[in-house]
């Protein structure tokens, strides 16, 4: 049956507008006999990187909250349960879709909500909005901030010093989402995080191992050492992590909103720390921080509307990749075949060529993001793909870009059972950020200043070689690969929310989840679990995961690719809405590369 379905698909693909419905049907046929199944639930579903945090979101759904309440509760809880991955000292991006008009609108007359409503994208019975809560460079940051007198980049200062911390955005972003689009009171949404911080949680084996790995970094900071170590050794599996100072900070936020974090005792604690050494963040920086409501980018991929986050997030790179790959018949060349992997890697290199040279935080100046996705621009770029032969990075870099103007993180996906979807990725960058915990406030600082290009041509912590478009400048946000993504059915009904951690591999992880689901007809479980590849132009090689066959690797080598075996890449958290005529409910899938953490309202 699979072969017949694939053949039918090839035929229908060539035949124009009827394709998309047939495509969806073919997927349904293929879903029945798959070797992996996602978790099913009758109402909503929360997929997150840690189970206690996922349960916090499910509790909001049970209490009548919507996808936004659940995503905000889960992300606040993750700041307590996954402090190596995200935290109040970090930032991120959130993409929401709510059916109809949010009931919270009536209660919210604040200017920030009016601004958010004005950026909404309306489609088929609902509204979509992106919230950019990426950190910003402090006003005192200059483009040469991390250059040593020799002109080389000082990697320690760029990643491990107080200067590596940008002004945090997570609190402002989550509060904006919740106030303008949530249904429940903020105190209720934050309660699980506060309880987890105050009462403590058992340390998991993964957590303990990550503390061990980050030992030298965390032990160098007295506050981090006191929080995560006992008698010189990291907290062991089963021991309790209690975070009273973080609980107090969360309580201040629950009571005072933004002012509970960006002003008052928490801000004073941050400023005292900054003054203790060479930190740049000032009171004015904290007070000036605003989460930005942004209109999502939109493309159609084989008839499915796909929404992504504009720069500085990774959504533009992801949508560019989908547009580049759309006409290639990857289903016919086959999942994980050398021919498919080669085409994908070549597209990845072209997309990263654009990204690394041209993308950056547009700030208040208009950025022609949607024009990068125009037919003419995409066709010109696509014509650079040779399906038989790898084009070395040096060759691509020698040609001018086609359009010339311009390990650790965590993701939450929620389907609320009433048609609402949220995808939210947040991060403090490396595991445990810069390793420095704010004394008296209980959270780690990010080291996201390293996502800027410290010097054009020098690689950052993810090996990304970026240009002037992403230079450090006061008040700017560093370019990110984070790509929370929403996919709709051809009739506009909400379908998939997904996203992933993984540094520069985030965009290619999300790409492969979507190609596996939309092109290869895998169900959500298989789409997430399949082995992945990654290529980012420089270094000029394909990274591959366990599971790609030796003969595919050999054939890739023959096409001219360098190869590098990689550790597991990404950790996609995904949910999917099942249409009523197919039984209703939702699917959830955690990435088997990391711990299982799904929760449902029942
Ligand atoms: O924003 C970015 O692209 C990175 N700072 C994300 C870091 C990350 O995903 C680390 N994790 N696994």
Convert the pLDDT of each residue in 365-411 to its tens digit. Answer: 778 899 999 999 999 999 999 999 999 999 999 876 665 433 589 99
Which of 88-102, 135-149, 427-441 has the least mean pLDDT? 88-102
Name the residue of 166, 462, 464 to mutate for ligand 1: max ligand atoms within 8 A of Cβ.
462
Name the residue of 429, 447, 463 to mutate for ligand 1: max ligand atoms within 8 A of Cβ.
429
**Strand bridging mode 586-590 / 573-577:** antiparallel
For residue 366, what pLDDT is reported?
79
Separation between Cα atoms, residue 5 and residue 11, nearest integer Å: 10
For residue 389, what pLDDT is reported?
98
Summarize the confidence of residues 415-421 as an average pLDDT: 96
CA 431 to ligand 1 center in whole angstroms = 9
Separation between Cα atoms, residue 423 and residue 68, nearest integer Å: 9
For residue 423, what pLDDT is reported?
98
Q: Is the pLDDT of residue 559 over 90?
A: yes
**Strand bridging mode 304-308 / 297-301:** antiparallel
For residue 431, what pLDDT is reported?
96
For residue 20, what pLDDT is reported?
29
Which of 14-28, 206-220, 429-443 has the least mean pLDDT? 14-28
For residue 407, what pLDDT is reported?
59
CB of residue 591 inside a 6 A radius of ligand 1 = no
CB of residue 27 inside a 6 A radius of ligand 1 = no
CB of residue 502 inside a 6 A radius of ligand 1 = yes
Residue nearest to atom 9 of ligand 1 (CA): 503
| Alpha carbon distances (Å) from 583 to 42, 44, 286, 522, 575 | 9, 14, 48, 19, 16
| Residue with the larger pLDDT of the pair 48 and 406 | 48
CA 324 to ligand 1 center in whole angstroms = 24
Summarize the confidence of residues 548-554 as an average pLDDT: 97
CA 381 to ligand 1 center in whole angstroms = 27
For residue 123, what pLDDT is reported?
86
Sign of CA dihedral 213, 217, 220, 224: negative
Q: Is the pLDDT of residue 555 over 60?
A: yes
Q: Is the pLDDT of residue 44 over 80?
A: yes
Separation between Cα atoms, residue 229 and residue 236, nearest integer Å: 9
| DSSP-assigned letter for residue 427 | E
Name the residue of 206, 482, 505, 594 to mutate for ligand 1: max ligand atoms within 8 A of Cβ.
482
CA 448 to ligand 1 center in whole angstroms = 9
CB of residue 429 inside a 6 A radius of ligand 1 = yes
Confidence of residue 19 (pLDDT cuts 50, 70, 90): very low
Ligand 1 atom with least separation from CA of 430: 10
> Is the bond into 312 cis (omega within 30 degrees of 0)?
yes
Active-site residue, 485 included: no
Q: Please, are residues 266 and 252 in contact by the beta-carbon 8 Å criterion?
A: yes
Q: Is the pLDDT of residue 595 over 90?
A: no
Q: Is the pLDDT of residue 531 over 80?
A: yes
Separation between Cα atoms, residue 119 and residue 129, nearest integer Å: 7
Q: Please, are residues 448 and 427 in contact by the beta-carbon 8 Å criterion?
A: yes
For residue 107, what pLDDT is reported?
59
Task: For residue range 347-366, list pLDDT tens digits in order.
Answer: 999 999 999 999 999 987 77
Summarize the confidence of residues 299-307 as an average pLDDT: 97
Q: What are phi and psi of 337, to 5 degrees?
A: -75, 160
CB of residue 480 inside a 6 A radius of ligand 1 = yes
Separation between Cα atoms, residue 323 and residue 374, nearest integer Å: 9
CA 321 to ligand 1 center in whole angstroms = 19
> Is the bond into 9 cis (omega within 30 degrees of 0)?
no
For residue 315, what pLDDT is reported?
98
**Strand bridging mode 485-488 / 121-123:** unpaired
Q: Which two tokens stand for residue 58?
A: 């499910």
Residue nearest to atom 4 of ligand 1 (CA): 503
CB of residue 460 inside a 6 A radius of ligand 1 = no
Strand residue runs (E) in 372-471? 408-415, 421-429
| Alpha carbon distances (Å) from 440 to 93, 266, 267, 272 | 27, 8, 11, 10
Q: Is the pLDDT of residue 27 over 60?
A: no
CB of residue 208 inside a 6 A radius of ligand 1 = no
Residue nearest to atom 1 of ligand 1 (CA): 480
- Percent of the chain residues topping a pLDDT of 90: 86
Summarize the confidence of residues 179-195 as an average pLDDT: 97
Taking phi first (over 0 means left), then psi (-120 to 50 degrees means alpha), and beta for anything else, what does residue 473 get? beta
**Strand bridging mode 563-565 / 542-544:** parallel
CB of residue 501 inside a 6 A radius of ligand 1 = yes
Task: For residue range 235-251, list pLDDT tens digits in order.
Answer: 999 999 999 999 999 99
Q: Please, are residues 589 and 413 in contact by the beta-carbon 8 Å criterion?
A: no
Q: Average pLDDT, whole number, for the chain?
A: 91
- Percent of the chain residues topping a pLDDT of 70: 92
CA atoms within 13 Å, Cβ hemisphere of 443:
34
Summarize the confidence of residues 500-508 as an average pLDDT: 97
Residue nearest to atom 8 of ligand 1 (CA): 503
Secondary structure of 451-516 as H, E, C letters: HCECCCCCECCCCCECCHHHECCCCCCCCCCCCCEEEECCCCCEEEEECCCCHHHHHHHHHHHHHH
Summarize the confidence of residues 89-106 as an average pLDDT: 83
CB of residue 409 inside a 6 A radius of ligand 1 = yes
3-state secondary structure of 409: strand
For residue 54, what pLDDT is reported?
97
Summarize the confidence of residues 169-192 as an average pLDDT: 97
* H or E element, residue 554: helix 550-558
CA 33 to ligand 1 center in whole angstroms = 35
Ligand 1 atom with least separation from CA of 481: 3
Helices (H), 92-185: 104-107, 111-118, 155-160, 170-181
Separation between Cα atoms, residue 424 and residue 510, nearest integer Å: 13
Q: Is the pLDDT of residue 30 over 70?
A: no
Among residues 20, 159, 343, 409, which one is catalytic?
409
CB of residue 503 inside a 6 A radius of ligand 1 = yes
Query: Model's pTM, two decimal places?
Result: 0.94
CB of residue 586 inside a 6 A radius of ligand 1 = no
């Amino acid at each position: 049956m699979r072969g017949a379905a694939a053949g039918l698909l090839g035929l229908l693909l060539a035949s124009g507008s009827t394709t998309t419905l047939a495509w969806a049907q073919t997927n349904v046929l293929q879903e029945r006999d798959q070797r992996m199944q996602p978790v099913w639930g009758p109402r909503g579903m929360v997929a997150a990187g840690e189970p206690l945090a996922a349960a916090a979101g499910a509790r909001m759904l049970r209490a009548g909250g919507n996808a936004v309440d659940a995503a905000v509760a889960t992300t606040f809880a993750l700041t307590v349960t996954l402090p190596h991955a995200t935290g109040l000292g970090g930032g991120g991006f959130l993409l929401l879709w709510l059916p109809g008009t949010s009931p919270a609108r009536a209660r919210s007359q604040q200017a920030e909500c009016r601004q958010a409503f004005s950026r909404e994208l309306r489609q088929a019975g609902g509204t979509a909005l992106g919230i950019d809560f990426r950190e910003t460079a402090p006003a005192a940051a200059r483009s040469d901030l991390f250059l040593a007198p020799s002109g080389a980049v000082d990697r320690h200062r760029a990643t491990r010093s107080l200067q590596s911390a940008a002004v945090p955005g997570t609190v402002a972003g989550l509060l904006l989402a919740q106030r303008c689009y949530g249904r429940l009171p903020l105190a209720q949404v934050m309660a699980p995080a506060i309880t987890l911080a105050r009462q403590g949680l058992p340390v998991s084996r993964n957590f303990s191992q990550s503390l061990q790995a980050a030992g030298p970094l965390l032990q160098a900071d007295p506050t981090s050492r006191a929080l995560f170590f006992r008698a010189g050794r990291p907290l062991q599996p089963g021991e309790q992590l209690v975070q009273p100072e973080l609980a107090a900070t969360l309580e201040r936020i629950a009571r005072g909103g933004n002012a509970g974090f960006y002003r008052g005792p928490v801000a004073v604690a941050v400023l005292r720390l900054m003054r203790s050494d060479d930190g740049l963040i000032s009171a004015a920086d904290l007070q000036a921080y605003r989460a930005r409501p942004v209109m999502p980018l939109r493309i159609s991929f084989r008839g499915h509307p796909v929404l992504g986050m504009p720069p500085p997030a990774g959504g533009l790179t992801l949508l560019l990749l989908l547009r580049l790959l759309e006409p290639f018949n990857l289903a016919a060349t086959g999942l994980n075949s050398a021919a498919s992997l080669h085409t994908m890697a070549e597209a990845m290199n072209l997309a990263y060529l654009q990204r690394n040279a041209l993308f950056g935080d547009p700030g208040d100046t208009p950025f022609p993001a949607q024009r990068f996705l125009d037919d003419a621009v995409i066709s010109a770029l696509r014509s650079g793909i040779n399906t038989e032969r790898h084009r070395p990075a040096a060759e691509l870099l020698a040609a001018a870009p086609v359009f010339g103007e311009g390990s650790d993180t965590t993701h939450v996906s929620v389907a609320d059972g009433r048609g609402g979807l949220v995808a939210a990725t947040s991060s403090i960058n490396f595991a445990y950020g810069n390793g420095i915990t704010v004394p008296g406030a209980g959270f780690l600082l990010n080291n996201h200043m390293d996502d800027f290009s410290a010097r054009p041509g020098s690689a950052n912590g993810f090996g990304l070689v970026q240009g002037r478009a992403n230079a450090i400048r006061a008040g700017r946000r560093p370019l990110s690969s984070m790509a929370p993504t929403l996919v709709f059915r051809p009739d506009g009904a909400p379908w998939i929310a997904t996203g992933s951690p993984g540094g520069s591999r985030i965009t290619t992880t999300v790409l492969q989840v979507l190609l596996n689901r939309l092109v290869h007809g895998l169900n959500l479980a298989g789409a997430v679990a399949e082995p992945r590849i990654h290529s980012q132009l420089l270094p000029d090689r394909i990274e591959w995961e366990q599971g790609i066959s030796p003969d595919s690797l050999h054939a890739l080598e023959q096409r001219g690719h360098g190869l590098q075996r990689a550790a597991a890449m990404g950790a996609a958290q995904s949910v999917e809405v099942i249409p009523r005529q197919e039984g209703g409910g939702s699917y959830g899938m955690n990435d088997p590369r990391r711990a299982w953490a799904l929760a449902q309202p029942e």
